[in-house]
A and B are shown apart, each in its own frame.
Chain A
């Protein structure tokens, strides 16, 4: 049955990653080079090579993900390994450097790597946290269906508003026109109810009761419709926000991966030619 990436195959890749980390640490502790620990010792070379190997392999995931017809690939397997071995890089690479940081291309590669790892860790967090929230938030109704219902409510509230006072008509019109779902990246990442709708509801509450009984009733109905609409706005915005959270980090993770690969090439060339 269903098995998440983290527990996949009874933590097989977590075990691999821990082993790699522990071995690197022990080697680092017992290794006593003549000079201070750095990438130039035999252990430094070894850890560096392992590090580059891992990075290339981690980046290869992007290609693997798209090799749909390749029978050897079960993506969950790859992602589980990607996550755990990716995290073990923190140790492997740091130990390789021997903590010799400076303002140079070498440290640039290191920083880029850490950024990729941090963004990956955020992604993992998003993958674990948001799917469930998204399902609960939807309650079986798709985003499209929510939007259809909101449009229907908009139509009705406008009609009602037009039947009441000019002020109410303008309030409703303004609330409808200025309530957006999604849009720019910032908008996608923020959730919440529509402020204008909240304001409109509060103002209509204030001026009720209206002159005639019928109008008062329409006003009440308007309030309940606007409230329902605002609940939908919140849910729709949440939906967009969850999806954006699950997507956005990849826009950091992937470009930085390319930058990392480039700076690594520079690093390796630099140490061979100018060291």
Chain B
């Protein structure tokens, strides 16, 4: 017999706990099922003493539980007390493993407790997922652990680390300082790890500091040994401890098994929800991080609201005042405006009310007067604009601003910057007096594109047509390009994919819409890089024009998206438009000349290849140090620290060198910044000049630090202020400018937040590191220009 309740709440994070509190407070029969033995496991696992932020500040809190910014321990204690105070019905160590049935009668299978039957289910299990366990005999022994809080707590042990991801490597390397460490890797390389970690572990293994079993898996764990199946049979290894870091299974599979649908396979896709957080399964509600609301306060508000919805008491969402403020400049009510947006903008018409609300909270409404510049050519912004009302003009000819193409109500613009991550290709101005535009940041667009298939389709089709027109054939009327556009295909490729090989047959032209490629040719048995082609350009025209096999190999330098154009369809257009053919032929000749020059100077090709291998291909601006000039004075680092609250964001010495060009560990301001991907507080942005920076909304969750493949973000607390220059000079008050703080400890009440290079966007004269270099060794360059200069010699 299952226990019966009206509402079963699964997961006791901020969302679930708040829902249970509200249910208890208003006398609704409920149970809160939590798999851990304490409330709110995600927050419980934050590092000790972490300062938890309560963003967004403008959002009011609506919950029976209180929450304000503070130390993790205090917040958890308050929640424990209040949950007990409200007499919420919590069952710890109760993990829900299946949810079946429908509204009115759901059946929940529970591991560690009695089964539960409920009329409604509120699912708020967050995104942390389940840690993967070792699957072999003896895996439950107490000395097999899945977390490592303090590597320095162990010494002189033999420790087996299972796994090949970043966590495993970081643990192994840290433990190896005081212990003998043996890594067990299921594969023959560390493919999933970040470059920096990969270097660390391979170096440690090469040096013999760490031992590694490749192609191996645990078979049995005994009292003080482990048996591994390896490529050459079994191996028994004595050890004191096993640490398994196998990652976590995202909760998606479990959620799907409950009947909930996701609109696409993409990792960023969110389940579709109604305005009252109800999923496609009636009676099953999804809240919090799992539903796409990654902040504590939002999750708590939803917990309150969902109980009201279930009880049939309509509430205005807590974000209502935010939207009201957003729409203040067009003097219209929230519902009315949302309605109008949906009617006027086809791109957004397929959104649910909830999606549209969230979309609008992230967006900004602009009402520019006629003639105002919305964004300028060569800006680095990457937001998307939709036209709710009025007209805008695109200045297609940079030399003559009067030459404009107009876009009207319902259309959108700015998609090229969004897709390519590069500078804007044209200036856009308001072209009527009644303009109402919605500007949506990249992050929300990406979420939307991955969650609503219709949006992706419209966006891709429109963008493709516009790109073929503007970047390949501006002189050809749109109608005549129709066949080319219809036969064109968008392809995405990971870094290192060959689009075609030298000698292949084929006449397709590739328009690069995102990422970049290298052009290379086999010369004297060596693959020589001849050129680097970034987004916004095309490759493959040589074979089409010469009707010969491919003359070079094209390989993607980073994750790349191309528009593949059918050769036959394009040839027809060429035949009709000799001026276009001539343009292509000119480009062809120019490339031939450059190729010949590069073949004579293979070192330059080597340098390009090296930099591309360092991921510089996806950078928009990278710090390069010429080691034949650098006197290792570290004035660059000091300048960085002095102009950025005492913490340097660059590590000069770290990083590889090729032919005296050194790539230090410093932000490259990627075209598609990996660091932005999972920032719950939306604190990472790109400024118009291209700087990727973190603003003061950062909550210190560390996601960006993990997501950046180049290890350029770290978490740091603000160090205390230093005495001034004169005080130091005249009275010897230390530490002086550029000097270390020494033993002075950082005050513990300043939270650790993410810090990274912002290219000194607030200093008019540009990056302090470069300006502080006395010898001219340090420069910041746009790789595209750098490569172009390298190629031209």
Contacts and interface: CB of A to CB of B under 8 A. Distances in A.
A54 interface: no
Interface in A45-78: 63, 65-69, 71-76, 78
A10 interface: no
Interface string B760-793: 0001110010111111110101000010010000
Contacts of B660: 132, 135
A246 B725 contact: no
A114 interface: no
Interface residues of A, number: 35
B178 to A, nearest CB: 14
Contact of B631 (A2, A68, A246): A246
B768 A148 contact: no
B627 interface: yes
B642 interface: yes
Given A8-B776, A135-B660, A148-B209, A2 B626 contact: yes
Contact of B657 (A68, A140, A145): A140
A76 B776 contact: yes
A121 interface: no
B691 to A, nearest CB: 16
A134 B653 CA distance: 13
A149 B206 CA distance: 10
Contact of B725 (A66, A127, A130): A66
Given A5-B775, A79-B775, A135 B737 contact: no
A198 to B, nearest CB: 24
A214 to B, nearest CB: 22
A152 B774 contact: no
A4 interface: yes
A142 interface: yes
Contacts of A127: 631, 775
A152 B738 contact: no
Interface string A118-142: 0000000011001110110000101
A1 interface: yes
Nearest to B659: A135
A3 interface: yes
Interface in B616-662: 626-633, 635, 638-639, 642-643, 653, 656-657, 660, 662
A220 interface: no
B645 to A, nearest CB: 12
A148 B779 CA distance: 31
A3 B207 contact: no
A5 B776 contact: yes
Contacts, number: 99
Nearest to A136: B660
B635 A2 contact: no
Contact of B764 (A66, A71, A126, A142): A71
A90 to B, nearest CB: 22
B688 interface: no
A142 B657 CA distance: 11
Residue of B209, B763, B777, B779 ringed by the most chain A CB atoms within 10 A: B777
B770 to A, nearest CB: 8
Interface in B687-743: 725, 729, 736-738
Nearest to B626: A2
B238 interface: no
Contact of A145 (B203, B626, B642): B203
A118 B633 CA distance: 21
A158 interface: no
Interface string B653-675: 10011001010000000000000
Contacts of A130: 631
Contacts of B207: 148-149, 152
A243 interface: yes
B725 A132 contact: no
Given A65-B635, A68-B642, A132-B660, A75 B774 contact: yes
Given A66-B737, A76-B774, 8 more contacts: A8-B776, A63-B729, A65-B772, A65-B774, A67-B737, A68-B772, A69-B643, A73-B772
12 contacts: A1-B779, A8-B776, A67-B725, A67-B737, A68-B638, A68-B737, A71-B763, A73-B772, A76-B775, A131-B632, A132-B627, A132-B660
A-B residue pairs, 3 tightest by C-beta: A71-B765, A66-B737, A68-B642
Interface of B: 203, 207-209, 626-633, 635, 638-639, 642-643, 653, 656-657, 660, 662, 725, 729, 736-738, 763-765, 768, 770-777, 779, 781, 786, 789
Interface of A: 1-5, 8, 63, 65-69, 71-76, 78-79, 126-127, 130-132, 134-135, 140, 142, 145, 148-149, 152, 243, 246
